Amino acid sequence: MKRASGLLALWMLLAGAAPLFAQGPPGGKKMPPQVGLAPAAVKTVPVTFEYVGLTEASKTVEVRARIQGFLETREFQDGAYLKEGARLFTIDPRPFEADRDVAAAQVAQAAARLRLAEQELARLKAVRTPGAVAAADVDQREAEAAGAEAALRLAEAQLKKAELNLDYTKVSAPLTGFIGKAQKEAGSYVDSAQNSLLAVMHQVDPLYVTFKVSEADFLAWRRGEKEGALALAGGRTVPDVAITLLDGTPFGEPGALDYENTGVDTQTGTVELRATFKNGDRSLKPGQFVKVRLSGWERPNVLTVPRRAVGQTPKGPVVYLVGPDSKAQERVVKTGEWSGEDWIILEGLEAGDQVIVDGLTKVRAGTEVSTGPPPGAPGAADAAKPAAPAR
């Protein structure tokens, strides 16, 4: 019973005090919300652009057989990192060794025929007795010597071809990089046509990062650079490129922008760009999504406000100023890019305009605001001072 009586007394006390809380602070007048102001300022600001990029191998090579035969060996592990020239496959060399030996014998035969033809021609030309040798015989021997010489060159070419085919039985890595899964195993029959693909290799150092820029952004770059509204700082000729991995980790090496597609993709309305990155530790692999950050530009003499001053509404970006009557005024603005903690304002404000940056959650158009210290603080007597009139 004592507990019930105590609760009842507490309820009655709170009920009696409720009208006092509803009345607000002494005097019955609700205090206007406190806001903080910052001026719209003209600055030269750095500008960055961010896009989604995709890593790609700088070289992708299909390893194919150049001759036909049976694979004797496969000498790598799938996915291995290999140096250029490492042995990948061996095709049965015995038929090609035989072809080489045949071609070498044909070279020897042709060389012997050429020596005989040259000797016979020399003997005829050595006869000094006038009329002893007919001119037709000399012509015939010269033709035979020339034919023997041509036959020797043909045999030598056949030998080179046979040796080349023999070399093709040893399939080596065409580059330094990763190799994918083997497409053929030992014992498989391969040729230089449909059954030629053996594996695919990817060079990942350096590595490419491709990304697509909207046509609107691309035109804005070019127009800004032409008109002087956008310039590369510090003597740069191309912007700096950096990437961030999917988990938010910055990649340690800077990139170099080195490729711009010659046309606009008609399906997506974008221009493809490419940057090259060193990837000596092979921490990046082809096919990774990354965030690409382009920096090094600056916009000279632009109007800026703190980013937190700009709100988004169905009418577009807006800021709030304080009028001469100490009431908030909504101003629709046209914004440019972000620059650090600032937002570039293209239209809607003038230098020196005071915009509300703190206390925006309490502000609506027409709300009376206070820009001084909060009640009870030193100088509270001067709290209700209006800001500079909004123009």
Please give the full DSSP string across 234-272, using - where no structure is assigned.
TT-SS-EEEEE-TTSPBPSS-EEEEEE-SS-BTTTTEEE
pLDDT at residue 216 greater than cutoff 80: yes
CB atoms within 10 A of CB 166: 19
pLDDT in tens, 94-150: 999 999 999 999 999 999 999 999 898 888 777 767 767 677 877 788 898 999 999
pLDDT at residue 261 greater than cutoff 90: yes
Which pLDDT score is estimated for 260?
93
Contact between 67 and 91 (Cβ < 8 Å):
yes
Confidence of residue 4 (pLDDT cuts 50, 70, 90): very low
pLDDT at residue 359 greater than cutoff 60: yes
Which pLDDT score is estimated for 60?
97
Confidence of residue 28 (pLDDT cuts 50, 70, 90): low
Confidence of residue 26 (pLDDT cuts 50, 70, 90): low
Domains and CATH numbers, the chain: 47-57+204-300 (2.40.30.170), 68-92+170-195 (2.40.50.100), 94-168 (1.10.287.470)
Residue with tokens 């053929």: 184
Distance separating alpha carbons of residues 30 and 376, to the nearest angstrom: 15
Rg for the chain, CA atoms, rounded: 42
Q: State pTM to two decimals.
A: 0.72
Which pLDDT score is estimated for 41?
93
Which pLDDT score is estimated for 181?
96
Contact between 298 and 231 (Cβ < 8 Å):
yes
End-to-end CA distance of the chain: 68
Confidence of residue 326 (pLDDT cuts 50, 70, 90): confident
pLDDT, mean over the chain = 86
